[in-house]
Amino acid sequence: MRFKKPIILLCTMACLVWATYLGILLFKKPARVAAIGDTIDLSPEMQRALDPDDFRPLLTGESYWLAAHPEPGQTFEQFKNAGFERRNDKRNRIYLQPLSSFEEGISPPLEDLRECTGAFFGIETRVLKAIQLEEIEITSSEIIGRKRLQYLTKDILEWLSKRIPDDCFCLVAVTM
């Protein structure tokens, strides 16, 4: 479990990237500005990426996580001060662990995900052999009204922590 923070960091960043892409974020503008904090010391590109005017409010409903599990949130300043591990010469790769199948035409190709992840984070990224969710012990529950399963990330992170390659900066489970 010694590299849990980098795994969580990448999961958090990946979730933010997807949430931004889909236009789904939690707070109204004043709360988003407070959460992001001062961006004056960031590059113009990062300032644009963190512009609170580009974020839209979170979709709501009983099947969304925060509707059933309220969370206090975290400011960008708290995130920066959390003490995450930094990449180094020994731990210098991102690994993507596909869970279940990625159907052609429905899911993005894993090679595209690998390439985009590597480009976004500026680090070599590799895709591991896919594992079927049925092969591992993960707590799940049905999403109300959707007949789809939702998986407990704590169980996934615990399972991942036992599979970390020696050169791994972080390991991310990917599902579709």
Res 58: pLDDT: 59
**Which one, of 88, 108, 105, 106, lies nearest residue 96 by Cα?**
108
Q: Is the dihedral of CA 18, 22, 27, 29 positive or negative?
A: positive
In a domain, 45, yes or no: no
Query: What pTM does this model have?
Result: 0.59
Considering the chain, what is the average pLDDT of its residues?
A: 78
Res 23: pLDDT: 42
In a domain, 112, yes or no: yes
Domain range for 120 = 4-24+59-174
- Residue 60: band (very low, low, confident or very high) from pLDDT cuts 50, 70, 90: low
Higher confidence at residue 49 or residue 116? 116
In a domain, 98, yes or no: yes
In a domain, 79, yes or no: yes
Q: Which of 26-35, 122-131, 137-146 has the lowest mean pLDDT?
A: 26-35
Q: CB burial class (10 A; 0-12, 13-18, 19+) of residue 143?
A: middle
In a domain, 162, yes or no: yes
**Which one, of 32, 5, 3, 6, lies nearest residue 19 by Cα?**
32
- C-alpha separations of 82 from 12, 54, 75, 88 in Å: 13, 26, 11, 18
Averaged pLDDT for residues 147-151: 78
In a domain, 52, yes or no: no
- Residue 165: band (very low, low, confident or very high) from pLDDT cuts 50, 70, 90: very high
Count CB-CB contacts under 10 A for residue 117: 22
Res 14: pLDDT: 55
Higher confidence at residue 55 or residue 97? 97
Contact 29/108 with Cβ under 8 angstroms? no
In a domain, 43, yes or no: no
Averaged pLDDT for residues 24-47: 72
Res 47: pLDDT: 83
Structurally, how many domains does the chain consist of?
1
In a domain, 49, yes or no: no
